[in-house]
Amino acid sequence: MTNSDIVDLLELTGRLMELHEQDAFRTRTFTSAAFNLDKSTADLANLPVEELVKLQGVGKSIAQKIREIAETGRLTELDELLAQTPQGVLDMFRIKGLGVKKVRTLWHELGITNLRDLQLAGENGQIAKIKGFGASTQEKILAALEFLQEQQGKVRMDKAAMIANLLVEQLTPHFERVEISGQVRRKAQESDVIQLLIQTSDPVSAMLTLNGFENLEQDVRESSPFVWRGHRTGFDVLVELLFYPAEQLSRQLFIQTATEAHLKQAGTGGMPLLQVAYASALPDSVNTTDVAEVEAAIYEKAGLPYIVPEMREDDFAFRWASRYKNEELVTWEDLKGTLHNHSTWSDGKQSVADMAAYCQKLGLTYFGIADHSKTASYAGGLDAERVRQQQLEINELNKGFGSGFRIFKGIESDILGDGSLDYDDETLASFDYVVASVHQTLTMSEEKATNRLLRAIENPYTTILGHPTGRLLLAREGYPIDHRAIIDACAEHNVIIEINASPYRLDIDWHWIEYAMQQGVMLSINPDAHDFAGLLDMHYGVAIGRKGGLTKAMTFNALTLAEMTEYLERRRAEIRR
């Protein structure tokens, strides 16, 4: 059991205790423990009770509950609460804006025990009539339900990759060759199919092998003699396993990776890429098991430039290829530092010193701390005095580094409702850079949201615009903005735009990367890291950057330490003038 697993079970127990109106003091012990342990770096599953009780928010009772979870994977008290709670009521917790009290009210007053009944109650106007709800809440619930329905059966990029890799690990001992294909190989930000290609000359035997795995559940009606479709136990997303003989697999990997729109593109001979891939004989010099050779040969025969797998979405890639070369696309190795990160000063799990040391292990040459600002009190945001204290700590830490590494002093300053930042100019001037982000009051019209961001961009202290739409993939739509107006304003005021690399966000959307580059706006691949693992999320940011055609030259944190230092110092000097 991971820390996250344990915290999730404690949090759910506290939530269900509140739902069933159990003792308030005991309920708080669970919710408080979950809140405090969410920041803990201790290995909770392997700590004895006497060590657990030393952690903040953990008494002897909770420590024993943690041991029960660690040893059994379950919690008896939670199982009892779940037995008393309809699954549909649990599903209601997925609706943004519905807290425990509102869920309890909907359950007990309207008798709603599933999302379908919740939708009907909203459409019939029943929700609006409940005291404390009203027409506005009813409208938001219906919008959230519609969004959840659209996202059903999808997983984020990180989970898609995890499932695909688990399948590869499971299947490889039984088949000569297994390849990840489709949306996962194309680095889609969301996937509704996890597709793998399996090399076999005996599809019947292959099907029997797959159906012998206890954790693979076949959908017989959707399958065929050459395609296994179903699910992996524990995941809702569709799994699709395609069977091909050895001589066809690499060619099919190319075909199955690209979208239909990409494969429709015609080359110099007028033949669509798909037809070329199927019809053309490959040169004898091409090794049919070498995917790169096969794919390059197909593009060459079509008279089209080679397109990297991430960009095989539509005709955009070919327009991009008329101006750039694949070698110009940003890579992980191009990144020299990271600029949007959190520490224990706000809601991070590691100290500034430890996060910086981990960045050094990753081969980076600078680490930028951008803890939450004072408005984000829920995340331990820093007031002006704590800002000064943190900066003194950073000064001392920087004395211990040689010329090859540096910690930059930043902040993630909240953009307030009127577009202003939540510090005075004196405090803002003390930072090396400022990431300006919206965190609260997310329900806005396009005009209001755009104007709010425009004012923040116009602030001379704004260095980077953080996660521009505030979206959470598969959980919350972003607020609507005029992307062109925002990007144009960033170009005018020399503001960098963030590609928030957290797989929960991946914001700004990749479709707008090309326009930003055309306008001369650099993009910063920022992990928004709250712990060591979060720093590695830059891999997802690189994938999305490449999908949108981001070049190393237009990647802000591909600047060397010397270049970044000079850039930030020059910008601060311009503000002082």
The domain boundary, picked from 151, 170, 199, lies at 151
Helix (H, G, I), strand (E, B) or coil at 195: strand
- Here the CATH number for the domain that contains residue 213 is 3.30.460.10
The predicted-structure confidence for 149-176, as pLDDT tens digits, reads as follows 888 899 999 999 999 999 999 999 999 9
Distant-in-sequence, close-in-space partners of 368: CB < 8 Å, separation ≥ 6: 337, 338, 339, 340, 341, 407, 408, 409, 410, 432, 433
How many domains in the chain? 4
Q: 141 near 103, Cβ under 8 Å?
A: no
Residues 429 and 527 in one domain: yes
Separation of alpha carbons 510 and 489, rounded Å: 18
Residues 32 and 16 in one domain: yes
- The pLDDT tens digits along the chain (577 residues) read 889 899 999 999 999 999 999 999 999 999 999 999 988 888 999 999 999 999 999 999 999 999 999 999 999 999 999 999 999 999 999 887 789 999 999 999 999 999 999 999 999 999 999 998 999 899 889 988 888 888 889 999 999 999 999 999 999 999 999 999 999 999 999 999 999 999 999 999 999 999 999 999 999 999 999 999 999 998 999 999 999 999 999 999 999 999 999 999 998 888 999 999 988 777 777 787 889 999 999 999 999 999 999 999 999 999 999 999 999 999 999 999 999 999 999 999 999 999 999 999 999 999 999 999 999 998 999 999 999 999 999 999 999 998 899 999 999 999 999 999 999 999 999 999 999 999 999 989 999 999 999 999 999 999 999 999 999 999 888 999 999 999 999 999 999 999 999 999 999 999 999 999 999 999 999 999 999 999 999 999 999 999 999 999 999 999 999 999 999 999 999 998 8
The domain boundary, picked from 127, 151, 175, lies at 151
Residues 225 and 184 in one domain: yes
Residues 310 and 270 in one domain: yes
Separation of alpha carbons 258 and 313, rounded Å: 6
Does 232 reside within a domain? yes
Residue 476 phi, psi dihedral angles, 5° rounding: -150, 130
Residues 553 and 482 in one domain: yes
Q: Which amino acid is at 435?
A: V
Residues 277 and 218 in one domain: no
Residues 302 and 348 in one domain: no
Q: Element (H or E) spanning 197, and its range?
A: strand 193-199
Furthest-apart CA atoms within the chain: distance in Å: 76
DSSP state of 184: H
Does 256 reside within a domain? no
Q: 373 near 412, Cβ under 8 Å?
A: yes
Residues 496 and 392 in one domain: yes
Sheet holding 238-244, edge to edge: 178-180, 193-199, 238-244, 227-232, 216-218
Tokens coding 475: 């959980």
Residues 110 and 189 in one domain: no
Q: 274 near 254, Cβ under 8 Å?
A: no
Separation of alpha carbons 530 and 527, rounded Å: 9
Q: 500 near 541, Cβ under 8 Å?
A: yes
Residues 338 and 417 in one domain: yes
Residue 496 phi, psi dihedral angles, 5° rounding: -80, 145
Residues 386 and 530 in one domain: yes
Domain that holds residue 98: 3-151
Distant-in-sequence, close-in-space partners of 396: CB < 8 Å, separation ≥ 6: none
Residues 548 and 444 in one domain: yes
Tokens coding 318: 């070919």
Residues in the chain: 577
* Surface-to-core class of residue 285, CB atoms within 10 Å of its CB (0-12 exposed, 13-18 middle, 19+ buried): exposed
Give the C-alpha distances (Å, rounded to integers) separating 224 from 48, 207, 219, 250, 472: 52, 10, 10, 21, 36
